[in-house]
Structure 1
């Protein structure tokens, strides 16, 4: 048996596409791929006339992406077909296997898979998102009953989920500082942004029901001298609903690699989130990414932004378009020296490497506890591996 076949196997079930937006799953699983064989199983694609098949492709990060392609099917039939497609790849093995869930919906076809450790990385409250499947909450309850540990994507989600499982740990959004720090050196402007005047305020990320479009429109009306650069794919909402004005620029999705060049040309970062059920528990990864880029940030009152970023004076919290408009002028004029020093001090304690290392310690602690004599197995995981603050 060659060395790579002795590596542990990590099988991830995700509601997100690997190539959609580079975010938490990609950061963590790229690191996992350094010493695990990582399979990233996406939700199925349905194609009229298709024979059930599993499309496999390798990504530069070392992850194998698996996409079930099915004929149109109801949920139960689709689950049965996917289970059959995965069986040859995920048959019982002597190798250590971790099952890693981002979506409880995968329980419908993976509940019988053998695993040494089952992890639920609960990065979002999916049940609150537009179009959430009716069965999601029931399948999440089943996942909670099977998972050895639950990680949450932020502190507010941790507070909501900590009593639903015996072993819940918060791992808020982290940051690749070196990547976004490139923006501080003002790289060459991308062509589609170079033609836009200034000053500029910008947003990047998925554009969906979580964005307050009325707030964007009214702020742009109040500050016609400012240019609003909006980057990201539009999903789950009608593109025709996006506000249109001479100073609002919808540039579409950009790759993770391209982002620093765009952010380097902005004066202020915007997080104009709607305050609704879909944003109640979000922990925006873009918060530390804006800060690492050296951009002052204006955000609506998202709990995981208020604490810690608002409370530490790193992000300004606003409540309406007037506050957002006034904040643009205030932050553009504010000296950045002491603020940047505070930002860098805060970010110094954060990295995706550190987050992944903390998760690995907990996983290894569970594996170790199962190798302990029977009398020790009833002890709680934090007692075995030590309490750790994950920030």
Structure 2
């Protein structure tokens, strides 16, 4: 059809490739955020589907360095993009913000988590933590997925507030004294690079995490980030984080300097350059046939196939 433009196909999951493999695309992008084959209820054919997508993809992005290291030999044009952060958005939590009504009634100290509540969380750790620190309140914000609600740990000081909009998160975090990343160490977390790490720090909250490889790699030496290997050490890390939060905000300055290089705008520009490059190298000959259409206008906006798992937060 005269004037038609070839789309860019942008995949977040290999499961969508079979539906779209027939499309003549200006470029095929695989934005690999997780090792989805390791997730609960993943299709048995997920690895085969990913191999087919990788074979077709012009460029592959990974959501962190651990994932990049696991896949870098599978594609010749693969690039790691660790989590960025909207600093201005989360800086709102450092200001005097009206705390949402469903959190106001919870007594402190408050330690919170937001994100999908699924098999990536260490439920036994959460239960042990609540028992070890009965005077602390542990708040969980986000949808429950792939686990039964009745399997969640229950205690008077554990509070599940449900899913909230991204725009509401700074108001909730403003009421926390520290932020939690109580991830289980299993196949589904082996390669994660949690987006919430820089978001919590931008919000001015100390972070307590289990020993996730990319958290240790990027934030293990950052003041305000505490890594714990077992429930006893995690509880002690919560104590230390609260002490830091109440003592001084001086640790915010080096954190902010570190986060300056982590904006989503910089991530976008870097990705855009790589996408433009593959369009130029793989599709320009085809586009030239369309009456000399320029490189910048010949490809349409991306068609996004698949959703990012773990919103809010990964």
Say if 2:224 and 2:241, in contact at 8 Å, map to a contact too. no
Q: Which of 145, 148, 157 is residue 247 of structure 1 equivalent to?
A: 157
In structure 2, the partner of 1:315 is 225
Say if 2:110 and 2:139, in contact at 8 Å, map to a contact too. yes
Normalising by the residue count of structure 1, what TM-score does the alignment of the two structures yield? 0.70
In structure 1, the partner of 2:279 is 367
Corresponding position: 1:262 with 2:172:
yes
Distance in structure 2 (CA, Å) of the matches to 1:92 and 1:225: 69
Say if 2:130 and 2:158, in contact at 8 Å, map to a contact too. yes
Distance in structure 2 (CA, Å) of the matches to 1:262 and 1:106: 35
Structure 1 vs Structure 2 CA RMSD: 1.6
In structure 2, the partner of 1:292 is 202
Q: For residues 191-340 of structure 1, what are the structure 2 equivalents within 5 Å?
A: 191-334=101-244, 335-340=247-252
Distance in structure 2 (CA, Å) of the matches to 1:206 and 1:302: 17
For structure 1, the 5+ residue unaligned runs are: 1-90, 374-391
Q: For the structure 1 residues 92 and 288, does the alpha-carbon distance in structure 2 shift closer, same or farther, using more than 3 Å as the test?
A: farther
Corresponding position: 1:157 with 2:64:
no
Note the C-alpha offset of 1:93: 6.4
Distance in structure 1 (CA, Å) of the matches to 2:205 and 2:96: 12
Corresponding position: 1:122 with 2:32:
yes
Corresponding position: 1:357 with 2:269:
yes
Q: Which of 186, 191, 210 is residue 96 of structure 2 equivalent to?
A: 186
Q: 1:163 is paired with a residue of what secondary structure? A: helix
In structure 1, the partner of 2:310 is none
In structure 1, the partner of 2:312 is none
Q: For the structure 1 residues 336 and 161, does the alpha-carbon distance in structure 2 shift closer, same or farther, using more than 3 Å as the test?
A: farther
For structure 2, the 5+ residue unaligned runs are: 286-314
Q: 2:74 is paired with a residue of what secondary structure? A: coil
Note the C-alpha offset of 1:92: 9.7
Corresponding position: 1:104 with 2:14:
yes
User: For residues 152-198 of structure 1, what are the alpha-carbon distances to aligned partners after superposition, in whole Å with 9 as ceiling and x for unaligned?
Assistant: 00000000010000100001111111111110003101111000011
Normalising by the residue count of structure 2, what TM-score does the alignment of the two structures yield? 0.87
User: For residues 200-236 of structure 1, what are the alpha-carbon distances to aligned partners after superposition, in whole Å with 9 as ceiling and x for unaligned?
Assistant: 1000000000000110111111111111111111010
Corresponding position: 1:346 with 2:266:
no
User: For residues 128-171 of structure 1, what are the alpha-carbon distances to aligned partners after superposition, in whole Å with 9 as ceiling and x for unaligned?
Assistant: 00000011111111101100000000000000010000100001
Distance in structure 2 (CA, Å) of the matches to 1:242 and 1:186: 32
Q: For residues 11-30 of structure 1, what are the structure 2 equivalents within 5 Å?
A: none
Q: 1:350 is paired with a residue of what secondary structure? A: coil
Distance in structure 1 (CA, Å) of the matches to 2:57 and 2:3: 20
Q: 2:251 is paired with a residue of what secondary structure? A: helix
Say if 1:92 and 1:114, in contact at 8 Å, map to a contact too. no
Runs ≥4 residues deviating over 6 A: none
Q: 1:338 is paired with a residue of what secondary structure? A: coil
Q: For the structure 1 residues 92 and 119, does the alpha-carbon distance in structure 2 shift closer, same or farther, using more than 3 Å as the test?
A: farther
Considering Cα pairs closer than 8 Å and 6+ residues apart, tell me whether 1 or 2 has the greater RCO.
2
Note the C-alpha offset of 1:97: 1.8
Note the C-alpha offset of 1:327: 1.3
